[in-house]
Amino acid sequence: MAANSLKHRITIYSALLLALSATLRATDARIPKPNIVVFLADDMNWNYPGFNGGQCETPNLDRLAKEGTRLTRFYVHSVCSPTRAALLAARYPFRNGMEERSHGNDTAGMLPDERTLAQALKQTGYDTALIGKWHLGNWYQRQLPLQRGFDHHYGLYGALISYNGKTRGLWYDWHRDGETIREDGYTTDLFAREFERLMAARTSGRPFFYYVAFNAMHAPFDAPPKLVDKYRKLAAAAPGPGKNAPPQELATLESMDTAIGKMIAAMKAKGVLDNTLIVFFNDNGGTGENPPFRGGKGSTYEGGVRVPCIIHWPGHVPANKMVDGMAHVTDLYPTLLKLAGGSLEQPLPLDGMDMWDVFTGRKPSPRTEVVHNLPDGGRGEMGDMSICQGPWKLVGKELYDLSNDPGEKTDLATKHPDIYKKLYDRIQQLVAERRPPEKHLNIPDKPLLVFGEKENAHPPAWLQPYLDSLPESLKAKK
């Protein structure tokens, strides 16, 4: 009897294993290992791009939106560094050390034991590159992109640089592969040129992960004068509500759209576009207001943390579709890594979830909770403590039902004290899981010329005369 039962079990297990391996083969056959390109905008307002009804001309983003799936409830963090850390580590900033924002002259960076998406994809056989803004530590060598999984980096380590001068105050911040370099030109255009160069030079045959993190449209603005003039004239010709976005900001965004168009064209010319998954999103809400949502950058109201996100891979991801299930920036890492055939096994547990079946419209989102900020997160600069579970969202002492009130106008905290308490208690539980950031110090202003401790120790001979020669208008504020 026992022998029969064992035999029966073995037969069942064998059948299950066969079915499982058939499913895996079918999955492998259905999904080729894609190239992955992430386009990350900086501080873009929800209502500016054309695909969201904005007045900025963004034909390339609009095409991505039309040919792809848009996530309409995609969350990030309310300022730059925490979102970038959540993207690359798939863990909330209160765990990965970047709840403390990377400021100008301090040594704050992502904790060194965080495994980045670039490291994980590299282990899976991908070529990796970061073109643009890093902002996860701008000083110690161990913090910089080449030490965090990128084969190649071109752009800035910090934030807030002038688009033409590449300076933040009198700190210079422009690099290629760990060297301080001098290049004339507008950052956004230079990123496109670098992408074109990399694409044309590709010979490896391995899949690639290119992370393109624009400084557009972060201040200080220095947009091409012709474009600024165009939007100034448009605003004058059609004034009124919703038509008064600053021309500098719209011109900056249109420049970014043009750069994205050039990069897509470069992939098409190389014959790799069809097998490339493109993700576009924005790192935090735009400054000021982001209608129809409340608030903007630095706030945990929807306008600060809910951003446009497009998933584009024709033939694999539905075209012209909206997905309204909840998703968070940490979900990209496990989703992309799994698609790439990589392993999610790692010492630090992930907050992100595999969302491929959500992006492809096969299943509703499994995500039931997003943490926006813990009490006093990031020295209070990330907005009020906030968490959402399903339609309910706690922001500071307020409670909103986003299913009826996405604009967060009616505070229901006194009407539903039980729900408020449940969310509040959950936040307190998470406070106990907080991991302290790396101890960081202020870097002395002098003799600081360039970000990157090693590069600053041996600055190039042209640097000081170059900085001295810059007009005040090209020196961004510290």
Residues annotated as part of the active site: 80, 135
Helix (H, G, I), strand (E, B) or coil at 466: helix
CB of 381 to Ca ion, least distance (A): 12
Helix (H, G, I), strand (E, B) or coil at 78: coil
CB of 153 to Ca ion, least distance (A): 19
Q: Which string of x and - marks every residue 34-63 that binds Ca ion (by CB under 5 A)?
A: --------xx--------------------
- CA 1, CA 4: separation in Å to the nearest integer? 5
Q: How many residues bind Ca ion (CB under 5 A)?
A: 5
- CA 186, CA 356: separation in Å to the nearest integer? 36
CB of 215 to Ca ion, least distance (A): 9
Interface segment toward Ca ion; rule CB under 5 A; list 207-215, 279-287, 407-415, 452-460: 279-287
Q: Which string of x and - marks every residue 298-337 that binds Ca ion (by CB under 5 A)?
A: ----------------------------------------
- CA 48, CA 242: separation in Å to the nearest integer? 9
Residue among 308, 129, 305, 133 at smallest CA distance from 215: 133
Residue among 159, 161, 109, 156 at smallest CA distance from 137: 109
At 465, list the tokens: 């005369």
Residue among 263, 238, 279, 3 at smallest CA distance from 117: 279
CB of 41 to Ca ion, least distance (A): 8
CB of 177 to Ca ion, least distance (A): 25
User: Within 364-423, which residues bind Ca ion (CB under 5 A)?
Assistant: none
Distances (CA, A) of 472 to 38, 105, 237: 34, 20, 32
- DSSP for 123-185 reads HTT-EEEEEEE--S-SSSGGGSGGGTT-SEEEEESSS---TTT-EETTEE--EETTEE----S
Nearer to Ca ion, 283 or 438 (CB): 283
Closest residue to Ca ion, based on beta-carbon distance: 80
CB of 211 to Ca ion, least distance (A): 15
- CA 121, CA 383: separation in Å to the nearest integer? 33
Nearer to Ca ion, 34 or 286 (CB): 286
Nearer to Ca ion, 332 or 350 (CB): 332
Nearer to Ca ion, 57 or 283 (CB): 283
Maximum C-alpha span of the chain: 91
Q: Which string of x and - marks every residue 63-82 that binds Ca ion (by CB under 5 A)?
A: -----------------x--
Nearer to Ca ion, 288 or 341 (CB): 288
- CA 158, CA 176: separation in Å to the nearest integer? 14
- CA 59, CA 70: separation in Å to the nearest integer? 16
Contact, 101 vs 84, CB < 8 A? Answer: no
Q: Which string of x and - marks every residue 281-300 that binds Ca ion (by CB under 5 A)?
A: --xx----------------
Pairing of strands 386-389, 392-395: antiparallel
CB of 165 to Ca ion, least distance (A): 20
Nearer to Ca ion, 103 or 316 (CB): 103
249 scored as a contact of Ca ion (CB under 5 A): no
Nearer to Ca ion, 80 or 198 (CB): 80
- Interface residues with Ca ion (CB under 5 A) are 42-43, 80, 283-284
